Amino acid sequence: MREPAAVALVGFMGAGKSAVGRELAATLGLPFVDTDDLIVARAGPIDEIFRTRGESAFRALEAELVTAALADAVRRPCVLALGGGAVLSPEVREALTRLPHVVWLVAPPEVLWARATGPGQAARPLAGDEAAFRRLLADREPLYRAVATQVVAVAGREPAAVAAGLAAALTGAAAEGTPTDDATAPASARPEGGAR
């Protein structure tokens, strides 16, 4: 079995990046970093940043903190859950190329909408209108695809099951005869070892 390396989870809001990330980190024995938590620790609640400073100020702060976290992950492997819009930054996309594993968590738009707006969810500034939500998802999908080394379907699956399948794929257990989850597949957009 290979030693764990840094893993970044990307995907749209509601994909379960934080929940899967916590489970995956525990399974791999790595620290977990939620980049939204880094933003909140530095500047306060995300919905408040959007409201008082605007999306462009939020995106600048996000790019700064996420690129720093990704640089740290190269030196000290961890599992990172990136905010859904982090890939909008060219600097973040470039920093992701330095990580061996960038996993895009995918689900149908209706599943993402239900998760992002369901009871008990934190306020999400960009989840106010379902039609706009779907357009935003469509706009971001090419960016997720461009940075991903693997794509994992999460609809109808518990975070622990997603993490277990992903951990097996990432650590090489599949090569040793342990079955992997059919919903975990390499991204065809990026050849192994190639530029992203």
Is the pLDDT at 162 greater than 60? The verdict is yes
Q: What mean pLDDT value characterizes the chain?
A: 85
Please check whether residue 171 lies inside any domain of the structure.
yes
Residue 194 belongs to a domain? no
pTM: 0.84
Give the domain range for residue 169.
7-186
Average pLDDT over residues 170-177: 58
Count of the separate structural domains present in the chain: 1
Residue 181 lies in a domain: yes
What tens digit of pLDDT does each residue of 133-148 get?
Answer: 889 899 999 999 999 9
**Is there a domain that residue 52 lies in?**
yes
**d(C-alpha 117, C-alpha 123), whole Å:** 8
In this predicted structure, what is the pLDDT of residue 125? 60
**pLDDT mean over 179-188:** 47
Residue count of the chain: 196
| 112/109 Cα distance (integer angstroms) | 5
Residue 112 near residue 14 (C-beta atoms within 8 A): yes
Residue 179: predicted pLDDT: 37
In a domain, 101, yes or no: yes
CATH assignment of the domain containing 50: 3.40.50.300
